[in-house]
Amino acid sequence: MKKHLCSIILLLLMGSHLWAQTKQPNFLIILGDDISAKNIGCYGTKNLNTTPNIDKLANEGMVFKNMFVSEAICAPTRAELYTGLTPNNNGCNFNHAATKKGTLSIVQHLNTLGYRVGLTGKTHFRPASVYPFEFIDGFTKNANYNGTPPENWDGVTEFINRDKNQPFCLIICSVHAHAPWNAGDSSLWDPNTITLPKNLADTQQTREYFTEYLAEIKLFDEQVGRARKLLKKSNIENNTALIVLDENGAGMPGSKWTTYDMGVRSACIIKWPKGQRKTVTKAITQYCDIVPTLIDAAGGNVPSNLDGKSLLPIITGTKTTHREYAYFLYNNLKEGPEYKIRAITDGTYKFIWNTSPNNLYAIRVINGFDYGYVDKMEDRHVRKMYLSWLAKAGYDKNASKIVNRYRNRPEFELYDLNNDPEEMNNLADKPEFTSKLNQLKNALLEHMNTQNDSFLQKDKTDS
């Protein structure tokens, strides 16, 4: 009798163990706004004490060193993240554009697998039919919020604890560190001693706004910390995959609105539920890979029409490589004079093709005055920063170089990302790099053909 009883108990224990292994994980994605990965601690910032919670998470999970967005503007970034499709395929390939009707998003994919899918905070996507999230109150949707917005975590708490028998996916969309940069405590850093990225002209105005920007990154970091405490308090930390992303780069000249790394390289830290230890991967990955990863982890079959590929083999360690290249585009529609850019990286070199090199590169909120745009916001921070660059460019060689790099682009750019991470030294005209340039150019053209992206061919025909 005792022998049979022991056998029954053993079977029950084995069954509960198998159930725990196969139970669908929850997903919590925390998404920043206009933060360049290089300004986060675990990605090498020299401005300390900015992201202690994110850095702690990095010490417990997987850090993706080569995660990229396809287009460094808010709407295309979010459409790619939520659909698993690149901008040309989902239809949102310029800012404020709509995703193609009939496209399936993270909501439908996970609903089919039994998940409830919620979102709180910033949206910046349409139409509603593609993105039927359960919207949760508590975080502001206003990216241009003036000052520190209030937060209420009651809705988030209710959502994740509503039904422990149904898995959830929740996306917390912060508005930090979107301009204006006037939230948080900037006194934690001295504007005179902070380290600026090399792609920014060193002016007092730049230093002051960059300090405010760091304060907003810290607010985002605090949200990450609070979310982790909530998971632990709710006793669901061990069955929740936590993904922290910083969206596209800082809303400063030469970052957001470009294909430079300061715009397209994203922080991505993932803590998987099953006893993951600190890992750093240099596998080339893109935002469109997130949705396939969640479908795969939830036990579904990843649709073959998605551009993204599941990251689970990277997360579980069965593979160390993911993509040969990452691809980028920028369409300056509604943001300034027509300007189209295409780019590619193999993780070591970046090739950029500016299709309108004779045109002025301008963004309405930064240097719209260069083409007659009158900004309704008279006190816009990024424009005041840029104006300080122009003033210094009149007498400072380095500032002049940075301003010229921003406004006037050659047709081809090639950068060594290992030795020149801020992409300040163009190698495109150097004979010893001709082979590498042609290799990347051909790979880019091949990718464009698969994406039905005819912009470059059309521009070449018309020129």
- pLDDT tens sequence across 167-182: 999 999 999 999 999 9
Torsions phi, psi for 67 (to 5 deg): -95, 135
Identify which of 323, 241, 250 has the alpha carbon closest to the alpha carbon of residue 281.
Answer: 323
Q: How far apart are CA 314 and CA 317, in angstroms?
A: 5
Among 404, 405, 371, 365, CA closest to 385 = 365
Q: Roughly how many angstroms between the first and final C-alpha of the chain, as a whole number?
A: 89
Give the pLDDT of residue 142.
96
- What's the confidence (pLDDT) of residue 333? 86
Every domain of the chain and the residues it spans: 24-323, 328-462
pLDDT tens across 67-86, in order? 999 999 999 999 999 999 99
Name 122's Cβ contacts closer than 8 Å, sequence gap at least 6: 31, 33, 74, 139, 140, 141, 142, 143, 173, 174, 175
- The pLDDT of residue 277 is 72
In 3-state terms, what secondary structure has residue 412? Answer: strand
Cis, bond preceding 227 (omega within 30 deg of 0)? no
**The domain at 24-323 falls in which architecture?**
3-Layer(aba) Sandwich (3.40)
Residues in the chain where the model's pLDDT stays below 50 = 1-22, 459-463
Model pTM score:
0.93
- DSSP H or E stretch at residue 397: helix 397-407
